[in-house]
Chain A
């Protein structure tokens, strides 16, 4: 299956990745080749087989409802490029 330019741009938009013209071209080729190899999945009979999300015999894991110290706010905000009054600052979402 060939991923055309429009499909690559649609995926890039969903993934919020800006691509150069050159990348759009190479990814169209490379992703098409990789996805073609996924066809082998259809050769395996999975009738009545449950999916596996992870391999541990775990369902829900609950933490005790006990408060404990968290990381200091200033240490965490110090990692951000833009902050104001203890908040992360971003450009306007709606302009």
Chain B
């Protein structure tokens, strides 16, 4: 029998269905692995061992009664940005250090209904703002492939947990690359579905027009399985799309024969790390060998402006969303001030970390009188231009392919002193959020022992094609099956 903690979902489900393993054994294996490696990796903020074993026993009872399900009894980890009833949800912030939500996020509820076992809540950049998980108010998570390097962010804990064998899959959230970038740097599969595919009810809000929940898995088959469970309309989220959820596994194995795949020039700039470029070119050759028609002459001219669009729109929305942390209703509250306003300013000054304050300040500035037209309104118009350029590309191509990140994982502390340098990590991922498209990161090999991710981007609500391309590529190599030495 293989290591239980490194099974895929489909392998685990088969073993459970044949009653060759119990959910309790799978869950105990994950908890043992957490005990063994998490002191080094630090992927988790909360481990819910007792609750997980109770959920496992409940799943075993359902299995014994003859019930079968793709996720029934399989251990998962949840990013600490999603509300879990009775389990602390800190968002990586001191502001929510003692916050225990009275309800489950819709995605969490959907997973629990499917019989998922939650082993714990994972570390993240505070309020999902960051690209390295170094902005966690608690501790940085480390990259399982090199403990001196970052796992990426903001969903770094969820990516590292899957890479390190601490959970069979996990959920993250992606506002500008926060699933795809850590998936790439940790060598796992990570996907941001189309904006509106997954309910945001119970997801602590960062930038509401960009935020989307998605999974981390060990292969693309598992990705389709988790998407099947979490996607779908939810009346509790008014921006949830009222559109049918297809079976994402249906077209997975159809290959890329005759498929038209574009590679935007702006995503392969001369400054791209040579090692990363080599891996992406090798992946393009592999897809071509599978029958795809590759065109490297695609252009998305406004890509250069995407970073500015993002760093106007996301902080603007954040400045409004995070106004709720006032020390009155819930969360950290400073009470020894000179009066109500002083208490509020002290609460926010002490409760938020540096990057969160920085972004609230940027957003407040961009929305303030005299700057609104030049920054916020202008950024929203450029957003339209960016979306139109993607739409024009998708009139010619079935999917676009690009690197996920400009480099492999960087060292802890290497970029934390320079906010703008950190923002540049997300240049290839944030246009996808701006345009509301689905995008995946699939392992594409290693450069000097560090993982590289291949990004596949699709038309709105065409996750099926994205998954199909990623699956076709994944089968040309076994990158996702490699394990870090821990």
Binding site for B on A (CB under 8 A): 3, 8, 11-12, 14-20, 23, 27, 30-31, 33-35, 37-44, 46, 49-56, 58, 61, 63, 71-72, 75-76, 78-82, 88, 90-93, 95
Contacts and interface: CB of A to CB of B under 8 A. Distances in A.
Secondary structure of the A side of the interface?
Answer: loop
Given A17-B345, A93-B340, A55 B420 contact: no
Given A31-B361, A90-B340, A46 B368 contact: no
A90 B153 CA distance: 36
Closest 10 pairs (CB-CB, A-B): A55-B436, A18-B349, A51-B380, A18-B345, A79-B330, A46-B381, A81-B333, A54-B209, A91-B340, A61-B238
Interface in B130-151: none
Contact of B308 (A15, A20, A41): A41
Q: Which of A19, A43, A56 has most chain B Cβ within 10 Å?
A: A56
B476 interface: no
Contact of B379 (A35, A41, A72, A93): A41
A20 B349 CA distance: 8
Interface stretch (B287-295, B352-360, B445-453): B352-360
8 contacts: A15-B361, A23-B357, A33-B419, A38-B366, A50-B381, A53-B209, A71-B102, A90-B340
A80 to B, nearest CB: 6
B311 A15 contact: no
Nearest to B315: A34
A22 to B, nearest CB: 10
Interface in B288-314: 302, 304-305, 307-309, 311-312
Secondary structure of the B side of the interface?
Answer: helix
Contact of A56 (B239, B326, B333, B368): B239
Given A16-B345, A34-B311, A44-B382, A91 B339 contact: yes
B378 A42 contact: yes
Contacts of A42: 374, 378
A55 B361 contact: no
B44 to A, nearest CB: 23
A33 to B, nearest CB: 6
Nearest to A26: B354
A49 B361 contact: no
Nearest to A61: B238
A79 B102 contact: yes
B239 A34 contact: no
Contacts of A61: 238-239
B255 to A, nearest CB: 29
A70 to B, nearest CB: 11
A54 B350 CA distance: 32
B383 A52 contact: yes
A19 B245 CA distance: 47
A79 B382 contact: no
Contacts of B319: 15
Contacts of A52: 380-381, 383-384, 387
A54 B384 contact: no
Nearest to B337: A91
B311 A17 contact: no
Contacts of B195: 54-56
B174 to A, nearest CB: 14
Interface in B323-379: 323, 326-331, 333, 335, 339-346, 348-350, 352, 354, 357-358, 360-362, 364-366, 368, 374-375, 377-379
B308 A38 contact: yes
Contacts of A51: 377, 380-381, 383-384
A19 B361 CA distance: 11
Contact of A79 (B312, B323, B329): B329
Nearest to A62: B238
Contacts of B349: 17-20
A30 to B, nearest CB: 6
Q: Which of A34, A39, A49 has most chain B Cβ within 10 Å?
A: A34
B385 interface: yes
Contacts of A72: 102
Contacts of A56: 195-196, 239, 241, 436
